[in-house]
Amino acid sequence: MRALFAATKAARAKRWDAGRFSFNVAKGRCATCDGEGFVSVELLFMPSAYAPCPTCHGARYNPQTLTVTWEDRTIAGILGLTVDEACAVFAAQPAVLRPLVLLREIGLGYLRLGQPATELSGGEAQRIKLATELQRAQRGDALYVLDEPTSGLHPADVDKLLAQLHGLVDAGNTVLVVEHDLRVVADSDWVIDLGPGAGDDGGRILASGTPEHVSRANRSRVVGSRTAPYLAEALGLAFAQR
């Protein structure tokens, strides 16, 4: 995106490169907030608070940088778009569109392009890393470990994420997911059920095998799986939906 702005007639006339449109570089960012978009306000006898930058008002760039526009939008305006909105704006820019489509396909279409990393949940951060990996050429020998990547996701977005994970596996990679969402567990190739409880009450492998095998764990000599009956229900629902 920064390259598109650097290629505009206005930027070339000023001999500005792509770095000018990064809020991590001093020459383009707001000098008051250092590109953060907000400033810390010291309060007497109370914790510090944060307020929009009084100079850029949250735009993160200095006024000179914001004089350059691409398709009638400033770089600050672009970063204010959601991924879904940006897919429409950059529909004719394949290099930009491809990563945006991947983000949308793993359920992150609602994120703003300029959203600070500190505002992301753990699951969102993992899915962004996953989208980065999906852009690379697949060699088929990688191990991906994800810790509850479906946290906070709508069921429809879980389906999108599962499709991408299956794509990694189909390419020959191995995906290990620590997960409590039984729809994900039921869709796995192999399940390791730990328990019987949490913390000091857990740590034992109660059952392992295909989802169908683990769902019948309490019918065998291994008793105590709290996952088994709910997994059986999830498998029955999935089978009915087919």
Catalytic residue numbers, as ranges: 148
Give dist(CA 78, CA 76) in Å, integer. 5
Q: Name the pairing type of β-strands 174-178 and 143-147.
A: parallel
SS3 category, 186: helix
What distances in angstroms separate CA 63 from CA 4, 27, 56, 101, 228, one per listed residue? Answer: 19, 11, 8, 31, 60
CA distance 227 to 215: 7
Q: Which residue has the tokens 């306000």?
A: 41
Q: Cα(127)–Cα(197) distance, rounded to whole angstroms?
A: 28
Q: For residues 159 and 164, what is the distance between their CA atoms, to the nearest angstrom?
A: 9
Rounded distance between C-alpha atoms, residue 105 and residue 156, angstroms: 11
Q: For residue 178, how far is the Cα from the chain centroid?
A: 16
| Radius of gyration of the CA atoms of the chain, in A | 24
